[in-house]
Structure 1
Amino acid sequence: MDTSILLPRWNLDNLQNGLDIEKFENQLSSIKEKMIELEEDSKVAALKPSELLTLSQMIKQIESAESFYYCLTTEEVEPFQLTSIIGSISKLKSHVYIAISNLEQLLVTMNEAQLSEWKKSIEEPNFLQELEVEKEGPSKQEKVISTFARETLSGLEDLYIQVRNHIKVRIEPDKEASFAEAMKMAFSHPEQSKRTHAFKELNNTLESQSNIFASIYNQMTGIRLNENKVKEVDYLDGSLKSNGISKTTLDAMWTAVDSNIQELSNWVKKKEKAETDQNSWHELMTSSPKGSFSITFSQAVDEITTSLAAIDPDMSEFVKAAISKGWVDAEPRTSKSPGGFCAPFIQEGESRISLSYDNSLDSARRLAHELGHAWHYKQMDTSSSLRFLDDALEMTMAESSSIFFETVFIDHVIRNAKEAAAKKEILRSKIELSLNYLMSIRGAFLFENEFYELRKKGQLNAKQIEGLSLKSQKKAFGSTLRDYDPFVWIKYVQFYQANVPFYNYPYSFGYLLSIGLLELAKEEEHFDRKFQKLLSGTGKLPLEQLFKEHFHIDLSQPHFWERAMQNIIRDIEQYNHLQ
């Protein structure tokens, strides 16, 4: 069996300046000097082609620095240093946005001849496509407000992380746990009694701190609503646009989920009758092992590469290379937050993946998921750009790639399970995962949607937010569970992402899209090439348009989504027939 000693640690030495924080901070200072100079130049004259190329290079360097910061959060780096670093990075991004805003304002004031002459001097086609130079473009007031909103939201996200990371949960009379440790115990400990105790103590602690989290969330939502008011758009419009889909497509997806919710609810009810001690939201969401199935890290890598080879050998070879080159840090450490992440280094053509591997099927699934993100980043265009990855990367597309990898892996393990008991155990895990993607995340979407509506009228206190959280979960789960969690809105960082409002629904979208893609992989000729082209088009065209271009499917119509849901129903039927 693998132990933490045998689990791989990532190689950070060839990124930035490794763990030399002083050199890293000096590098950020150097970028700041160049950015201030560019920002000043942008105030008096339209930036020259050489200056735009420099700005593009600065953007890539800032992106790499931000990804490296996320890697540092799992290492033994002092919290005050991390706070200083992310503050510097946020300020650098603000300088970029201001410089681009200044340029766009100057271009708007040019006459046709001047503008035409300036455009002729620009050799990078991406630059002209990305700059908003039309007369009817955003006003200066709108751009100033957007820049202010981005910087303030980033600060509030950092405040949330700091407050959360300083939480201490007394899980034993003489022992305190960090937020990350308490979350891991509550959702992953093999003993139910200890999971339940950790969950209770964590919630008690969060309740005592709920007012400050309510204040942060109210402020973030208020800032977004005010920005939307100036721009005269609905609060969901920006999210849909950044995800490359229409409201019609989102509704088509949710309609498919809702039309099959009874089948999902029936499975939950049937499970409740068989396991009366596991009919709560908490136990349904736990990733603790419910049987004897275990998988070491090396076995997981073998199964992931084998499963992907049948669809696209390039994917399989990519995974092998990522592991061998030291992209993955699988060692459990208290400094790591729950779950995992994939930090992209687009300019360097690499990624870094963090997770705490514990030989469970869930940790193997997470590994596949994060490798799917890395594959997506590898496909993305590396040409010069004036946009940050955050502004170009559609979360719907990103989650489709990552969940596609994990779905391919899980289906492969199910097919090759030699014993019926093991097959049933893994199939059960897959179904419960679908409940998370389609019911739990549906609850998060309902919560966010209604919170925005209510926030228009004024701030909500902690108790009101807790009540709204419970109400949304009950609706999403069809009132099938014994009890729910009033503090989901505090536990998950997705609610506090500065750059991504309504972060939750892309997971549901990506889950169903990945299931549909897996069906297409069985039917479509040259699926591997089409899928790579789909991913490489991220940010160039809306996802809906790309999907129609490469697979000739209209996602705004219900057929694709209903077909994906039927695959989940078949999983439930298969589970029910297994002895």
Structure 2
Amino acid sequence: MESFITPTRWNLNNLLQCDSDLEKFKNYISCIKANLLEIEECEKLNPLNESGLNAISQIIKQLESAESFYYCLTTEDVEPSLLTSLYTNISMLKSQARFIVSNFQERIGNMSEKQFSVWSNSINQKVFIEELLMDTQRTSKEEKIISNFARETLGNLEEIYVQARNNLKVKGNIDKDVKEISFAEASSLALSHPEQTNRRFAFRELNQTLKTQAEVFASVYNSMVGLRLKENMVKNTDYLDDSLRLNGISKRALHTMWDTVDTNIHSLSRYLKIKAGEVGKERISWHELMTSSQEVSNEITYSQASKGIIDSLVDIDTNMSEFVKGAIAKGWVDSEQRKTKPPGGFCAPFIPEGESRISLNYDNSIDSARRLAHELGHAWHFKQMKNVPSLFFSDDTFEMTMAETSSIFFETAYIDYVIQNTDDTSLKKAILGAKIERSLNYLMSIRGAFLFEDKFYGNRKKGPLDANQVEELSLQCQEKAYGYSLSEYEPFVWIKYVQFYQANIPFYNYPYSFGFLLSIGLLNLAKRDKQFDQKFQWFLSETGLMPLEQLIHKHFNIEISKPDFWQQSIQSVVEDIEEYNKTL
């Protein structure tokens, strides 16, 4: 593959006029705080007007960019106490902005019909009126105060989890030298070290360390779920209602998807039996499944991965391909390996600036290349989103189901391209196996996480669960999700995955499975619809403007509350398993 010259460190200097300078960033946040106070004072003394609405809308955009900048700083060498302070300040300012908007809504609710008519005619930006009218009748001021308090408290609990996890020290075998390493390093070694004995050592030591601290994490998770359940009780809602609303889908659509996966569990778990047979076992463990691809050497440099992603998108949409080329060349991606980086990767959006920043520990593996494609898919999505005035944070409107569709679309297109352009039979088989294992991760591992959260919320209503009870519940749900086909499952997954502790996203899990199956269906559609590129861009650009279930029907005429679409997507995974079996 032809080399593609790329920078490996991102450029933060042109964002928010902070030049990576912490003092400038703190001043940036201080200015937002001062502007919020000014709006608050003006709001008390003056009639509600469009100028005030525009001002708070602009501050909301600035706070979102500040939060993205903060996440970028978490991967740099910054004092943890300073990061905590920055996060706390941003979280408090977001709560303050929400409270101001809540006061605006209250003022609208207190207007007479005639007053509202005169006022609404004076507002040119009609989206402000629509947003202020949302929930004004069914949500009381007390409920809004409770919601703001819950968000702020959940944010603080998330930060406690992050700090507790980052402070963990695990025994690691690095170059035959046993020493203490971080949680992130141990997680990486346990799954991606080229030597099996070192992977097993890191996996065992990581789990042993987590076991000693499990009660701390159980306490944090119990507190987060307990707080959400109390908020549900005040609002008289079900614990899945907020998640479904935030993801723009119906309960029927969600259950139809999972029921279709369950219907196909025998066909999907066939791959697990094939893998066990390859090593002369009746069953393999979760760890063996997740690390089997490490036995095949397949080095893909960052430059090669970048070019491969660019080439994989040319036939689908040349605009996508050119976007990726520009994003990498402009220094949007930080691929450098650093101890300060968390496992996996992330894409931080700066929508008003029209840019994103991507972080990942690139290690020349096919999995790193896949992650790069995934995060670039997020960046493409953010680029399509219009920077329109709004009184809502994207936390309140940005559907994870939609977010994971674009990212998984990109990574699937890339993996298919690699398989099609690999001549070495054994290497092609290994990459196909890795693709299937990734598919099963979305359909089995993620399903196990959903089953765990669903049951945990139900059990938590009766009272807190201790660490042993949480772990047992997690293992039971994994067994069901994997069709009882593995010999051992993943210990302490409920501690390892930061997504369980995200303050703004209850039930993080099913959107990944949803996005995966939707992206497969859309990729299949792209092969036969000549207007797909335009439809997909329009689809992404309307994020948050209407529920995702309606958007899918509007742009692609797909009914996701019926099993047909889900079955077609799952069938693609089954066909991959059949193809893999033919190579034995």
TM-score normalised per structure 1? 0.97
Matched, 1:431 2:436: yes
Structure 2 residue matching 1:131: 3-state secondary structure: helix
Alignment of 1:564-579 (within 5 A): 564-579=569-584
How far apart in 1 are the matches of 2:195 and 2:130?
56
Deviation at 1:132, TM superposition (A): 2.9
**Are the aligned partners of 2:7 and 2:329 in contact in 1 as well (CA < 8 Å)?**
no
Q: Which residue of 1 is the match for residue 202 of structure 2?
A: 198
> What are structure 1's unaligned runs of at least 5 residues?
none
Deviation at 1:456, TM superposition (A): 0.6
Note closer, same or farther for the CA distance 1:335–1:287 as it changes in structure 2 (3 Å cut). Answer: farther
How far apart in 1 are the matches of 2:573 and 2:483?
17
Q: Which residue of 2 is the match for residue 408 of structure 1?
A: 413
Matched, 1:482 2:483: no
Q: Which residue of 2 is the match for residue 113 of structure 1?
A: 114
Q: Which residue of 2 is the match for residue 445 of structure 1?
A: 450
How far apart in 2 are the matches of 1:420 and 1:183?
30
Note closer, same or farther for the CA distance 1:234–1:45 as it changes in structure 2 (3 Å cut). Answer: farther
How far apart in 2 are the matches of 1:297 and 1:20?
28
Alignment of 1:50-69 (within 5 A): 50-69=51-70
Matched, 1:265 2:269: yes
Instruction: Report the residue type matching 1:39 in the other structure.
Output: E
Deviation at 1:241, TM superposition (A): 0.7
**Are the aligned partners of 2:448 and 2:477 in contact in 1 as well (CA < 8 Å)?**
yes
Deviation at 1:171, TM superposition (A): 2.4
1:226 aligned to which of 210, 223, 230: 230
Q: Which residue of 1 is the match for residue 375 of structure 2?
A: 370
Alignment of 1:31-180 (within 5 A): 31-43=32-44, 47-132=48-133, 136-171=137-172, 175-180=179-184
Deviation at 1:123, TM superposition (A): 1.3
Decide which moves more: 268-277 or 336-345.
268-277
Structure 2 residue matching 1:19: 3-state secondary structure: coil
Instruction: Report the residue type matching 1:97 in the other structure.
Output: R
Deviation at 1:6, TM superposition (A): 7.7
**Are the aligned partners of 1:39 and 1:96 in contact in 2 as well (CA < 8 Å)?**
no
Structure 2 residue matching 1:523: 3-state secondary structure: coil
Structure 1 residue matching 2:19: 3-state secondary structure: strand
**Are the aligned partners of 1:467 and 1:486 in contact in 2 as well (CA < 8 Å)?**
no
> What are structure 2's unaligned runs of at least 5 residues?
none
How far apart in 1 are the matches of 2:41 and 2:226?
31
How far apart in 1 are the matches of 2:218 and 2:280?
34
Q: Which residue of 1 is the match for residue 256 of structure 2?
A: 252
Instruction: Report the residue type matching 1:498 in the other structure.
Output: A
Structure 1 residue matching 2:171: 3-state secondary structure: strand
Matched, 1:398 2:399: no
Instruction: Report the residue type matching 1:529 in the other structure.
Output: Q
Q: Which residue of 1 is the match for residue 13 of structure 2?
A: 13
Note closer, same or farther for the CA distance 1:217–1:44 as it changes in structure 2 (3 Å cut). Answer: farther
Q: Which residue of 2 is the match for residue 351 of structure 1?
A: 356
Q: Which residue of 1 is the match for residue 211 of structure 2?
A: 207
Structure 2 residue matching 1:170: 3-state secondary structure: strand
User: What's the CA shift string for 1:267-308, capped at 9, x where partnerless?
Assistant: 101211222588111222348623122211111111111110
Instruction: Report the residue type matching 1:141 in the other structure.
Output: E
How far apart in 1 are the matches of 2:398 and 2:130?
16
Matched, 1:337 2:345: no
**Are the aligned partners of 1:189 and 1:288 in contact in 2 as well (CA < 8 Å)?**
no
Structure 1 residue matching 2:423: 3-state secondary structure: coil
User: What's the CA shift string for 1:211-263, capped at 9, x where partnerless?
Assistant: 11001000100111111111111000110111010011111111111111101
Matched, 1:388 2:387: no
How far apart in 2 are the matches of 1:357 and 1:133?
44
How far apart in 2 are the matches of 1:59 and 1:288?
44
1:547 aligned to which of 543, 546, 552: 552
Structure 2 residue matching 1:385: 3-state secondary structure: coil
Instruction: Report the residue type matching 2:38 in the other structure.
Output: E
How far apart in 2 are the matches of 1:440 and 1:192?
22
Q: Give percent identity, aligned residues only.
A: 59
How far apart in 1 are the matches of 2:156 and 2:51?
32
Alignment of 1:280-319 (within 5 A): 280-286=285-291, 289-319=294-324
Deviation at 1:189, TM superposition (A): 0.7
**Are the aligned partners of 1:45 and 1:106 in contact in 2 as well (CA < 8 Å)?**
no
How far apart in 1 are the matches of 2:136 and 2:217?
41
TM-score normalised per structure 2? 0.96
Alignment of 1:502-517 (within 5 A): 502-517=507-522
How far apart in 2 are the matches of 1:112 and 1:250?
40
How far apart in 2 are the matches of 1:39 and 1:86?
22
How far apart in 2 are the matches of 1:307 and 1:134?
44
User: What's the CA shift string for 1:4-34, capped at 9, x where partnerless?
Assistant: x986100011012122111111111111111
Note closer, same or farther for the CA distance 1:334–1:286 as it changes in structure 2 (3 Å cut). Answer: same
Deviation at 1:485, TM superposition (A): 2.1
Deviation at 1:174, TM superposition (A): 5.2
Decide which moves more: 283-292 or 55-64.
283-292
Structure 1 residue matching 2:356: 3-state secondary structure: strand
User: What's the CA shift string for 1:57-98, capped at 9, x where partnerless?
Assistant: 101111111000010011111111111111110011011110
How far apart in 1 are the matches of 2:8 and 2:476?
43
**Are the aligned partners of 2:293 and 2:430 in contact in 1 as well (CA < 8 Å)?**
no
How far apart in 1 are the matches of 2:91 and 2:245?
23
Deviation at 1:578, TM superposition (A): 1.6
Structure 2 residue matching 1:344: 3-state secondary structure: strand
How far apart in 1 are the matches of 2:134 and 2:15?
36
Deviation at 1:541, TM superposition (A): 0.6
User: What's the CA shift string for 1:484-530, capped at 9, x where partnerless?
Assistant: 12300000000000000000110000000000001110122300000
Note closer, same or farther for the CA distance 1:153–1:419 as it changes in structure 2 (3 Å cut). Answer: same
Note closer, same or farther for the CA distance 1:276–1:59 as it changes in structure 2 (3 Å cut). Answer: farther
**Are the aligned partners of 2:244 and 2:251 in contact in 1 as well (CA < 8 Å)?**
yes
How far apart in 1 are the matches of 2:219 and 2:201?
28
**Are the aligned partners of 2:293 and 2:433 in contact in 1 as well (CA < 8 Å)?**
no
RMSD of aligned alpha carbons: 1.8
**Are the aligned partners of 1:7 and 1:331 in contact in 2 as well (CA < 8 Å)?**
no
**Are the aligned partners of 1:91 and 1:151 in contact in 2 as well (CA < 8 Å)?**
yes
**Are the aligned partners of 1:2 and 1:297 in contact in 2 as well (CA < 8 Å)?**
no
